Amino acid sequence: MKMKKYLAIGITALMTIAMIGCGSDSKNTGGSAAVSDSNNGERVETLTVLMYTDWYKAGWEALEKHINDNSEELGFKLEISKIQGGAQGDQVLQTKFATDDLPDIIQVYKPQWVDAYVNGLDKLVDLTGLESASQYDEKALEGTFIYNDKLYAMPVDSVVLSGVFYNKSVFEQAQVEIPKTWEEFLSVCETLKEKGVTPVYYSGKDAWSVQPPTISGIVSDAAEKNITTFDLMNQIGENKLKYAECDNFVDIIKRTKDLIDLGYVNETYLSDTVDNAHQALAEGECAMYINGTWCADNIAEKFPDKIDEIGAFALPTPSGDNYINMFTPYSLALTTQCKNVELGKKAIDFIASVEAQQIYADAQPGVYLNQKVTSEIPQATAELKEIMDSGKSMTDWEEINKYSYGNLSEPLLNYYTGTLKEAADVAKALDAETERNAKAQGDKNW
């Protein structure tokens, strides 16, 4: 399971596969641009768009309405269809790429995913030259949206940053400071435990949520080697490096279990959910929860009177050289099935522009890659953004791996509960699945 699918798999796994159209019971998601009559009799082309159901949120609702309300001025309308997220939705996309049953525009994970999982990179249009791209830091686009030296997609939605979310009031009452090293982190946990507060909350009932505490290990391995996560994952994809050889990754897996063994984690962590964690953090029943910035968003929504008490910091390492993991937004790409490529480019250029992204952000606040977009975000998110802006973040490695490594949460939980005996066994499980998938694709490096 890829961390990029935290919500796609964690939340939508129980949903039924469905094609849900906007404004009618069924939609043709093929690449033929539909034509509709505007109010004054002029014809405005309609571009078809396909995405996962759970990606269509307040931001898309606001932006779709703006575009369709101003279609005559913009020169296009959007017709958005949706499919279930998660593995079943991925299979639907695989079929659509294989059979050339594609919409004009498609929202997907990343161009790398299209390349590795649906073998469909040749069915995406090169968007190099879009005017809106100048509003983004090229480093933010390079390696993900810019892939193999071509701009295959533009970002949609906000960045997710992972870190340690903490209750400031609990820290103040316990008279502890934000730890910078792992040793300091353990000291803080011990003090909190003595004060009768659960130091760290795990929510193992939602299995995906046990992954965030461990993902910074690969980032630390890349930093230690003075390379990027792109470089490190290329080494793994080319069979030049194993997950089990990433010492920091194996070490953080062990350290996250140490927290359980030391009594610093809620005893009922196997039956507790993400919602339980958010409530416990907001109400001060626990001091810290390691997760992504949607944690702050959910607390802001459900416990608005508590959100100002929530802060965030990077999960400390033994050395104190602390990075955070950055999950880049989903991608909006133009397919070769679009019969009016220039109009398709114009539509994506507008959607990625500051004007459209600001509409999206006003409806759905977050950290956006368009440098001209402003958004009101919780203080905890702002604190992680400061770390990102300082250069101490790296692109999530699970978004850019060449071959699937399977489900990280499964071996993690097996290790926490004793089925797997060593932390390295978790990494070895990823290596075994990576090798299986690489060989299945006939990679001569394997």
Any idea what the Cα angle at residue 430 is, between residues 427 and 435, rounded to 5°? Answer: 125
What pLDDT digit, counting tens, does each position of 70-81 carry?
A: 999 999 999 999
* pLDDT band, residue 20 (cuts 50/70/90): very low
In the chain, how many domains are there?
Answer: 2
pLDDT reported for residue 13 = 36
- Same domain, yes or no, for 40 and 129? yes
pLDDT reported for residue 25 = 35
- Same domain, yes or no, for 123 and 51? yes
* pLDDT band, residue 6 (cuts 50/70/90): very low
pLDDT reported for residue 38 = 46
Domain assignment present for residue 445? The answer is no
Q: What is the mean pLDDT of the chain?
A: 90
Residue 289: partners with Cβ closer than 8 Å, 6 or more residues away: 164, 165, 166, 200, 201, 203, 277, 278, 280, 281, 295
- Same domain, yes or no, for 332 and 322? no
pLDDT reported for residue 24 = 34
Domain assignment present for residue 105? The answer is yes
- Same domain, yes or no, for 317 and 364? no
pLDDT reported for residue 143 = 84
* pLDDT beyond 60 at 33: no
* pLDDT beyond 90 at 260: yes
* pLDDT band, residue 113 (cuts 50/70/90): confident
- Same domain, yes or no, for 104 and 212? no
What is the rounded distance in angstroms from the CA atom of residue 259 to the CA atom of residue 261? 6
Provide the whole-model pTM: 0.82
What is the rounded distance in angstroms from the CA atom of residue 11 to the CA atom of residue 79? 25
- Same domain, yes or no, for 77 and 191? no
- Domain containing 18: what range? 3-159+328-371
* The dihedral sign for the CA sequence 142, 148, 150, 152: negative
| DSSP-based three-state secondary structure for 356 | helix
- Same domain, yes or no, for 85 and 15? yes
What is the rounded distance in angstroms from the CA atom of residue 173 to the CA atom of residue 333? 50
What is the rounded distance in angstroms from the CA atom of residue 402 to the CA atom of residue 229? 12
- Same domain, yes or no, for 150 and 170? no
Share of the chain above pLDDT 70, in %: 91
Among the residue ranges 84-93, 214-223, 257-266, 276-285, the one predicted with the least confidence is 84-93
pLDDT reported for residue 18 = 36
What pLDDT digit, counting tens, does each position of 391-434 carry?
A: 999 999 987 888 889 889 999 999 999 999 999 999 999 999 99
